[in-house]
């Protein structure tokens, strides 16, 4: 849309404004899903299965019924029968999950919700839930919770996802050129298998819901979610309510990372519990209950074959990936997406396969598919660089894709070459001795490794509204979520900059289905999508002001605005705008890119690995707030450190249960694991991706980190670790 001359142009990089909601958060004023004040509140606790597969043959609730304060115990024996639930074949989105909401006696996985207890205090509810859990009898069946390996381990064989399944439009199979011919033309070949384990989300705030009924047919849900409109839809469908009878509110979310992008069983159970006891009910999933019923990153086994000429030119790539899903639902970890898009290669075949296991359904986890697939691809590229005797950065530049190799469309923007150059210069890459094991500091081996980062630049439809009041303030609203990324802040900045108002005179609100609709906060889309709607709503308001009296536009002070509105007998000026992908967007391929260079220190005797230095350069379009953007990049890299060195969900293969379902045993990075990070913002102007030239940045930071660490470990030790996480036992 052509802007009027009066609308301020956006800066390439927004000011590093401190979060506008920061004071509320540090003083306790920010109210999360289970902190909403409500009279006669009751508390719910989940009862979880203790087997991985089978049926419930009996439940003894007598002792729990006698506990003081217990208001209700709900299991499949007495839960209300609900409308038929959506299946894989008729679900409406890739986030739509098959739920366990007490409609039968079947147990699909360990830690499945099989009951809910409501009491007048949280402690009483939890005690009664433990008593119910102890009184459950099962008919146990054999379970499988491990991904079969290519070596021929027993278990279910991989199968292609069914057509029309939950792929979200991403192909499970892809080919270009002639793979066999490309492999024959190769003078050097890499043929290796890389594996990643089960991982689980662990946001600071666990999943949490408060359900409040207003009469028998109207429900308000306060939920910790990445998608309020998806919660409204799923709750309405599950309970058989008109969607206009369900209101969902989520003002603050203590982290989601993909897990809260779907509606899980506890949300429906909280609503049923509140309906049963006739009181508002709070339900927070405990930390151990986060493992299983609310998703996680599935394990992958990825077989990669790279063929190249001696000068480093890629002639062929084959990428076969197997990941897991549950027996009752489908989720695909699209690991081959970065392989298809990152490097110029004329001959390629990628295939994705699924194995059904007796686990909870996997879920999007920060940079889903891209992070796991990037580890395999960038590790293989590093192996190829050593086989060729070519510098790892030079090899990537040799195969630089000037347009999208998959679609053939030009990039909306791409500054990856600048990322390589700036990161390598800042890191001092030219001083690297390429020989593995050659760099030492006493008893410590030093390793330098690098990898490319990339993530798609998605844009979803979003709406926003802005209201200019006579007191000179602007109220801006959008039905989106702030999952801790700074949405309140960047939208306030964007609106203020566009309207020409000071920050303190703009108020941005979100998190309510009574507001203009927007998509979920996932896939690094919120800033690009909602930001475009906010920007264009403010542009249209400026245009309306111009139509009313352009002389006042030069001074957007309270007096000028009040006089203008009074002269036209208006009590406010209101605009609503819906942003959608335009034709210009579809003519281009959109991705963000980056380069990460890592230094590790490996103890020669103990095999302990420490990341001691990271330099990372990212090009992600316009930056709305330098401060929050830097935090997002750093947060992603911290996740990558966890992925590379620590995170690993372990199953007892005999019992089918997770044995490390708490933060004392499931390891995530702490301060001592994280070095100082040098983050480089590579300036990039993207006129095609959306109205504000913004690409998402929430997930790109994790892509590349694990591979860069693995490549640095090889440089330090001469030992190639192809199975994450990289633990000392694998190096000794």
Contacts of 330 (CB under 8 A, 6+ apart): 88, 161, 162, 165, 166, 354, 361
What's the DSSP call for residue 42?
A: E
**Pairing verdict, β 591-603 and 444-456:** antiparallel
Locate 59 and state its tokens.
């439940």
d(CA 706, CA 719): 16
Locate 316 and state its tokens.
């062929």
Three-state SS for 168-197 is CCCCCEEEECCHHHHHHHCCEEEEEEEEEC
Quick check: is 699 catalytic? yes
**Containing H/E element for 416?**
helix 416-427
DSSP letter string over 687-708? SSSSTT-B---TTTTTTTHHHH
Residues 650 and 659 sit within 8 Å (Cβ to Cβ): yes
Q: What are 456's strand-pairing partners?
A: 591
Residue with tokens 């959506």: 86
Residues 518 and 487 sit within 8 Å (Cβ to Cβ): no
Cα 138–chain centre separation? 36
Residues 527 and 487 sit within 8 Å (Cβ to Cβ): yes
Q: φ, ψ for residue 629 (rounded to 5)?
A: -65, -45
Task: Using alpha carbons, select from 416, 258, 420, 449 the residue that is nearest to residue 341.
Answer: 416
Residues 609 and 600 sit within 8 Å (Cβ to Cβ): yes
Locate 83 and state its tokens.
């409308």
Question: Any long-range contacts for 627-630 (C-beta under 8 Å, 24+ apart)?
Answer: 627/16, 627/17, 627/18, 628/16, 628/19, 628/485, 628/486, 628/489, 628/490, 629/681, 629/697, 630/16, 630/679, 630/681
Q: φ, ψ for residue 655 (rounded to 5)?
A: -95, -15
Locate 283 and state its tokens.
């339900």
What b-and-e string marks burial along 611-636, b requiring 16 or more CB atoms within 10 Å of the CB? bbbbbbbbbbbbbbbebbbbbbbbbb
Locate 139 and state its tokens.
């008919």
Residues 643 and 725 sit within 8 Å (Cβ to Cβ): yes
Residue with tokens 């998703």: 295
Cα 495–chain centre separation? 26
Decide: helix, strand or coil at residue 247. strand
d(CA 503, CA 473): 10
Residues 116 and 42 sit within 8 Å (Cβ to Cβ): no
Given the residues 205, 406, 497, 699, the one annotated as active site:
699
Q: Helix 265-277 and helix 228-239: axis angle, to 10°?
A: 60
Contacts of 671 (CB under 8 A, 6+ apart): none
What's the DSSP call for residue 722?
A: -
**Pairing verdict, β 281-284 and 246-249:** unpaired
Locate 323 and state its tokens.
């990941």
Residues 575 and 466 sit within 8 Å (Cβ to Cβ): yes
Residue with tokens 């006493």: 442
Residues 620 and 700 sit within 8 Å (Cβ to Cβ): yes
Whether the bond into 725 is cis, omega within 30 of 0: yes
d(CA 633, CA 627): 10
Active site residues: 699
């Amino acid at each position: 849309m052509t802007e009027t001359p009066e609308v301020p142009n956006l800066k390439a990089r927004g000011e590093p404004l401190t979060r506008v909601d920061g004071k509320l958060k540090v003083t306790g004023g920010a109210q999360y899903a289970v902190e909403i004040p409500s009279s006669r509140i009751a508390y719910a606790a989940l009862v979880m299965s203790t087997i991985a597969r089978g049926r419930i043959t009996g439940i003894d609730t007598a002792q729990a019924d006698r506990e003081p304060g217990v208001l209700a115990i709900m299991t499949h024996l007495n839960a209300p029968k609900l409308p038929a639930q959506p299946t894989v074949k008729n679900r409406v989105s890739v986030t739509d999950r098959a739920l366990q909401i007490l409609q039968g006696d079947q147990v699909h996985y360990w830690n499945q919700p099989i009951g809910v207890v409501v009491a007048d205090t949280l402690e009483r509810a939890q005690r009664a839930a433990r008593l119910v859990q102890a009184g459950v009898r099962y008919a146990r069946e054999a379970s499988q919770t491990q991904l079969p390996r290519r070596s021929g381990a027993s278990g279910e064989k991989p199968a292609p996802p069914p057509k029309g399944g939950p792929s979200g439009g991403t192909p499970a199979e892809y080919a270009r050129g002639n793979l066999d011919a490309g492999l024959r033309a190769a003078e050097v070949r890499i043929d290796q298998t890389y594996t990643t384990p089960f991982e689980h989300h662990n946001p600071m705030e666990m999943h949490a819901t408060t359900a409040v009924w207003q009469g028998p047919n109207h429900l308000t849900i306060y939920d910790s979610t990445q998608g309020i409109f998806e919660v409204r839809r799923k709750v309405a469908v599950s309970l058989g309510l008109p969607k206009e009878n369900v209101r969902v509110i989520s003002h603050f979310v203590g982290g989601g990372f993909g897990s809260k992008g779907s509606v899980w069983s506890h949300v429906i159970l909280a609503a049923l519990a509140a309906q049963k006891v006739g009181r508002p009910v709070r339900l927070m999933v405990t930390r151990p209950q986060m493992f299983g019923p609310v998703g996680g990153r599935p394990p992958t086994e990825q077989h990669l074959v790279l063929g190249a000429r001696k000068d480093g030119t890629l002639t062929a790539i084959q990428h076969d990936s197997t990941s897991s899903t549950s027996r009752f639902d489908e989720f695909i970890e699209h690991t081959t997406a970065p392989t298809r898009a990152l490097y110029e290669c004329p001959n390629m075949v990628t295939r994705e396969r699924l194995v059904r296991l007796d686990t909870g359904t996997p879920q999007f986890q920060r940079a889903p598919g891209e992070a796991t697939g990037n580890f395999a691809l960038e590790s293989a590229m590093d192996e190829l660089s050593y086989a060729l005797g070519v510098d790892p950065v030079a090899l990537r530049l040799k195969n630089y894709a000037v347009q999208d190799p998959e679609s053939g469309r030009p990039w909306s923007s791409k500054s990856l070459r600048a990322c390589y150059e700036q990161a390598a210069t800042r890191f001092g890459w030219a001083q690297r001795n390429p020989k593995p094991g050659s760099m030492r500091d006493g008893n410590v081996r030093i390793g330098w490794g690098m990898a490319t980062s990339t993530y798609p630049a998605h844009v979803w439809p979003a709406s926003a509204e802005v209201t200019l009041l006579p007191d000179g303030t602007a109220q801006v609203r959008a039905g989106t979520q702030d999952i801790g990324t700074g949405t309140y802040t960047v939208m306030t900045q964007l609106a203020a900059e566009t309207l020409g108002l000071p920050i303190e005179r703009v108020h941005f609100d979100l998190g309510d289905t009574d507001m203009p609709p927007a998509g979920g906060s996932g896939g690094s889309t919120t800033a690009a999508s909602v930001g475009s709607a906010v920007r264009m709503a403010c542009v249209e308001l400026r245009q309306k002001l111009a139509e009313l009296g352009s002389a006042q536009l030069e001074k957007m002070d309270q007096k000028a605005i009040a006089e203008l509105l009074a002269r036209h007998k208006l009590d406010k000026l209101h605009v609503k705008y819906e942003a959608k992908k335009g034709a210009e967007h579809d003519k281009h391929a959109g991705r963000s890119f980056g380069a990460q260079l890592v230094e590790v220190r490996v103890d020669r005797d103990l095999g302990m690995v420490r990341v001691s230095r990271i330099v990372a350069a990212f090009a992600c379009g316009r930056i709305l707030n330098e401060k929050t953007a830097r935090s997002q990049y750093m947060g992603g890299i911290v996740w990558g450190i966890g992925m590379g060195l620590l995170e690993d969900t372990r199953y007892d293969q005999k019992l089918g249960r997770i044995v490390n379902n708490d933060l004392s045993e499931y390891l995530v990075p702490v301060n001592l694991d994280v070095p100082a990070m040098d983050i480089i913002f590579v300036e990039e102007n993207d006129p095609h991706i959306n109205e504000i030239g913004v690409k998402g940045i929430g997930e790109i930071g994790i892509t590349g980190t694990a591979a860069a660490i693995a490549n640095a470990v090889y440089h330090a030790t001469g030992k190639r670790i192809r199975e994450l996480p990289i633990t000392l036992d694998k190096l000794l």
